[in-house]
Structure 1
Amino acid sequence: MSTSITAAARRRPRPLLGLAAAWLLSRALMLWLLVHDDARPLGLGGVSREVHHLYFHWYGILVHGAFPVGDPMWQYPPGAGLVLLSPALLPGVTYFQGFVALTLLTDLAVLLALLRTGLRTGRSLRGAALWIGGLPLLLHLPLARYDVQVTAFAVLSLLALTRSPRVCGALAGLGALVKVWPALVLIGTPRGRDSRRAWASAALAAAALLTLLATLFRTPFDFLRQQGGRGVQIESLGGTVLGLARRAGWPGRTRYQFGAREFVGPYVHQVATVSLALTVLAFGLLLVWRLRARHWTTATPSDAALAAVLLFTVTSRVISPQYMVWLVGLAAVCLTSRHTTQRPVAWLILAATATSTVVYPALYIEVMRSSWTGCLLMLTRNGLLACAAVLSLVRLWRATAKRPEAVVPPREPRPGSSRLPDDRLSVS
């Protein structure tokens, strides 16, 4: 930590102590909930089963030098294998204990990076506070999924941009090989040499890791076949439409497949196609924004990253509750800057995160049944996310659409004139 940051920490010991205490208490509560995962108040329960059984099953395949083959639940890029193998780095503990310990360490690393950035001149500790308070809204779920590790790649990438575009790009490229979406954090890099460096570094890092994994492991690309077969998850925006249609008499039902509870029945394929079309439209909007943007601030890269991930999340065929970890992390990066346009968006994300916990695990059975309670919950959660996505893009677009206005110094009055010319603003 630099001298200036250390000095800033000494000037603000109380906020830092408060944030440290909040992190310790909230993570202790999350661990307690994880230990009591099957308690009745937690609803469906069994959040930790994914690590105990599914991750551990994949770990057993990966340690023998191969990726899962023909497994419809294995839909992740090859880099995910390294995360699932990482608990082996901690000897003397079970796989589950090692996974949770490394997730907590990653969570702490993200917090320290947000604190370090927030202590700089002109920055804010609100981002660190959002990260501390946002994750526990999902109860113990973040500790039993590897999305905290994925989010760390995106958060650290954005925070590294101002100091080293190459490091920023490398982290984004490595993150993309773990779960694809971290590549979106580069959408807002300022035009010019730094942007080219970041994108080139991302491509080189991803290519290098992919080559290494293809050399060390067999069948690294089987996930592509499984990803294409996914349908419409009941928690997605399309799933909300089908859930309401079910209440109106649509004969579809739900089935557990491809690692999620999905709808099956008439018109499901058409809804999935519409979702994909909306994703393409979202990508087109982001490209148009990128081409028309004229003004960048230090907050623009993180604001654009949040808008991009929100758009792709809302239009996805799958919106699992752990996806909220991504949005909380990106919103936290936005709030480290005093120039961000995304403060109201961050509040919507927190509201959607809290609602996601009611959806799963608390009342997930109601969602599976498409009861009125389940439908209203999904309508609320996905409505909040849709509003956040639209608001995020609109605020980003307005903030970057034109260059800042500069005041032109008034001209000297002509000899003999008693009137000064009007001050005029010119667009630089």
Structure 2
Amino acid sequence: MDGTGTRRGPAGVLAAWGITRAVLLLLVLKVFVLPGPDVTSDVSVIYRGWYEVLRGGTFPLDDVTWQYPPGAALAVLSPAVLPFLDYTAAFVVLAVLADLAVLCLLLYGGRRPGRPLRGARVWTVGAALLGPTLYTRYDVMVAAVAVAALFAGVRRPRAMGALAGFGALLKVWPALLLAGAVRRRSWVAAAVTAAGLGSLFVLALPGALSFLTAQRDRGTEVESLGGLVFQVARNFGWDGQVLLNYGSVEFVGPYVDVVSTASLALTAAAFGWLLWWRLRARLFGPAAPADAAFTAVLLFTVTSRVISPQYVVWLVALAAVCLCFQGSGMGRPAGLVLAAALVTVLEFPVLFGSVVAGDLLGVGLLFVRNGLLVAACATACRALWRSTVPGPTGPVSPVGSSGTRATAR
């Protein structure tokens, strides 16, 4: 890339980010309103309620919708740093700043020699495709921590581990960033950070670990891969219901526990595959940690009993990091995730009524969105295996496409 292209690249990305985020803010502020349920109610009602409880010195013990690790309290309490704004406005401002932090990290990664600006472009477009959900859930804040962790891991494994451990206290999934960590220092730093901060939460506020029980008792959510079983079955006489349960719209009725157990078994199998990959992997190039993290989170998302729209925020962020490394093989999975993001905003909030009703349009959207995620997961697993595992189906040389020699484990 020449000097002119380098200058124009970030300027174009920043301009696109500004335009798309202005549109998102107009949607959040309800200047324009998308069809479907009000996506801002999670902040104005649920988060605000938790905020008051947490300020009282305890976690929301009597609220089954509180299903997050103790670090989530920091995100919920964060609007207190902007006391001159009401809770919802302050939360949205902080979400926008987290979004901007992700972009800046990606631009920094993209400006280094040999690293294109594809990652920043993927985040700018992909996150915007999710609509106002981006700014009305705290997942964008967690994504910023995860992106920082993966970039820190290039030269500072301890910093990566500490950020991954902190992120896991916010929403568990950043622990999967360690899937491709080569240095033990990353794992040790993550464990020390999570244990240290977790202990402080346990000592400071009652109910810090109550989220474990709430997560255990969850059922199969209507948007999940397992939920498609009942989306189809209820058109053939399945005697069950769709209810608001544990803070999400879930299926309740015969065989739901069977499908939920099957989803957990698939998650266990996914972790088994990750372990098998890690035991076989020998070639760790610069892109390997990000590729492994993206693949691990895809596996977790696809096999989960719940696939909420905000989960796609995680995937878009990790896909963007992967594409900041020229040797990454995650181009096709990233494209599939972007397509899934577009379908996601259609199924929630725009046509969520059809999803809940289980009509042809709603079920069709879920088949497409979940199918895209499954395809992304399968292609990511294949690309990760081929780039890191030597042998007939693995790379024939430790030299990646970028010309950078991979690191043997």
- Tell me which interval the TM-score lies in, with the shorter structure as reference length: over 0.9
Tell whether the 8 Å contact from 2:37 to 2:352 is kept in structure 1 after alignment.
Answer: no
State how far apart, in whole Å, the 2-side matches of 1:132 and 1:376 are: 27
Specify the SS of the correspondent of 1:388: helix
The equivalent residue for 1:3 is: none
Q: What is the root-mean-square deviation of aligned Cα atoms in Å? A: 1.7
The equivalent residue for 2:134 is: 142
State how far apart, in whole Å, the 2-side matches of 1:312 and 1:59 are: 29
1:75 correspondence with 2:67 = yes
Specify the SS of the correspondent of 2:284: coil
1:124-203 matches, cutoff 5 A:
124-190=116-182, 195-203=183-191
1:95 correspondence with 2:72 = no
Which residue of 257, 262, 274 maps to 1:274? 262
1:58 correspondence with 2:76 = no
Aligned length: 396
Tell whether the 8 Å contact from 2:283 to 2:398 is kept in structure 1 after alignment.
Answer: no
Specify the SS of the correspondent of 2:278: helix
- The one-letter amino acid paired with 2:360 is W
- The one-letter amino acid paired with 2:203 is T
The equivalent residue for 1:229 is: 217
Instruction: Extract unaligned runs of 5+ from structure 2.
Output: 400-407
1:34 correspondence with 2:23 = no
Give 1:213 deviation, angstroms: 1.5
Instruction: Provide closer, same or farther for how the CA distance between residues 311 and 221 of structure 1 changes in structure 2, counting only shifts above 3 A.
Output: same
State how far apart, in whole Å, the 2-side matches of 1:406 and 1:9 are: 31
State how far apart, in whole Å, the 2-side matches of 1:272 and 1:37 are: 40
State how far apart, in whole Å, the 1-side matches of 2:398 and 2:224 are: 45
Give per-residue Cα distances to partners, 1:198-218, cap 9 Å, x unaligned. 000001111121122123212
Instruction: Provide closer, same or farther for how the CA distance between residues 103 and 9 of structure 1 changes in structure 2, counting only shifts above 3 A.
Output: farther
Tell whether the 8 Å contact from 1:38 to 1:46 is kept in structure 2 after alignment.
Answer: no
1:26-425 matches, cutoff 5 A:
26-36=20-30, 39=33, 42-190=34-182, 195-402=183-390, 404-405=396-397
State how far apart, in whole Å, the 2-side matches of 1:232 and 1:171 are: 31
Which of structure 1's runs of 4+ aligned residues deviate more than 6 A? 8-11
Give 1:11 deviation, angstroms: 6.7
Tell whether the 8 Å contact from 1:255 to 1:261 is kept in structure 2 after alignment.
Answer: yes
Give per-residue Cα distances to partners, 1:167-204, cap 9 Å, x unaligned. 000000000001000000110112xxxx2100000011
State how far apart, in whole Å, the 1-side matches of 2:316 and 2:41 are: 24
State how far apart, in whole Å, the 2-side matches of 1:186 and 1:373 are: 39
Give 1:10 deviation, angstroms: 7.7
Tell whether the 8 Å contact from 1:173 to 1:201 is kept in structure 2 after alignment.
Answer: yes
State how far apart, in whole Å, the 1-side matches of 2:134 and 2:154 are: 29
State how far apart, in whole Å, the 1-side matches of 2:55 and 2:304 are: 32
- The one-letter amino acid paired with 1:75 is Q
Give per-residue Cα distances to partners, 1:95-149, cap 9 Å, x unaligned. 1011000111111111111111110011111001111111110111110000001
Give 1:45 deviation, angstroms: 2.9
Give 1:152 deviation, angstroms: 1.2
Instruction: Extract unaligned runs of 5+ from structure 1.
Output: 1-7, 408-427
Percent of aligned positions with the same letter in both sequences?
Answer: 48
Give per-residue Cα distances to partners, 1:308-358, cap 9 Å, x unaligned. 000110000000011000000000000001100100000100011100111
Tell whether the 8 Å contact from 2:16 to 2:124 is kept in structure 1 after alignment.
Answer: yes
Tell whether the 8 Å contact from 1:303 to 1:341 is kept in structure 2 after alignment.
Answer: yes
Give 1:157 deviation, angstroms: 0.5
State how far apart, in whole Å, the 2-side matches of 1:263 and 1:406 are: 48
Tell whether the 8 Å contact from 1:38 to 1:45 is kept in structure 2 after alignment.
Answer: no
Give per-residue Cα distances to partners, 1:282-302, cap 9 Å, x unaligned. 000000000001211100111
- The one-letter amino acid paired with 1:242 is F
State how far apart, in whole Å, the 2-side matches of 1:63 and 1:56 are: 11
Which residue of 10, 13, 36 maps to 1:16? 10
Give 1:248 deviation, angstroms: 2.0
State how far apart, in whole Å, the 1-side matches of 2:213 and 2:258 are: 20
State how far apart, in whole Å, the 2-side matches of 1:128 and 1:406 are: 28
- The one-letter amino acid paired with 1:268 is V
Instruction: Provide closer, same or farther for how the CA distance between residues 66 and 37 of structure 1 changes in structure 2, counting only shifts above 3 A.
Output: farther
Instruction: Provide closer, same or farther for how the CA distance between residues 21 and 253 of structure 1 changes in structure 2, counting only shifts above 3 A.
Output: same
Deviates more, 1:213-222 or 1:109-118: 213-222
Instruction: Provide closer, same or farther for how the CA distance between residues 222 and 14 of structure 1 changes in structure 2, counting only shifts above 3 A.
Output: same
State how far apart, in whole Å, the 1-side matches of 2:7 and 2:326 are: 21
State how far apart, in whole Å, the 2-side matches of 1:37 and 1:245 are: 39
The equivalent residue for 1:415 is: none
Using structure 1 for the length normalisation, give the TM-score: 0.90
Specify the SS of the correspondent of 2:193: helix
Instruction: Provide closer, same or farther for how the CA distance between residues 235 and 406 of structure 1 changes in structure 2, counting only shifts above 3 A.
Output: closer
Using structure 2 for the length normalisation, give the TM-score: 0.94
| Larger-gyration structure (1/2) | 1
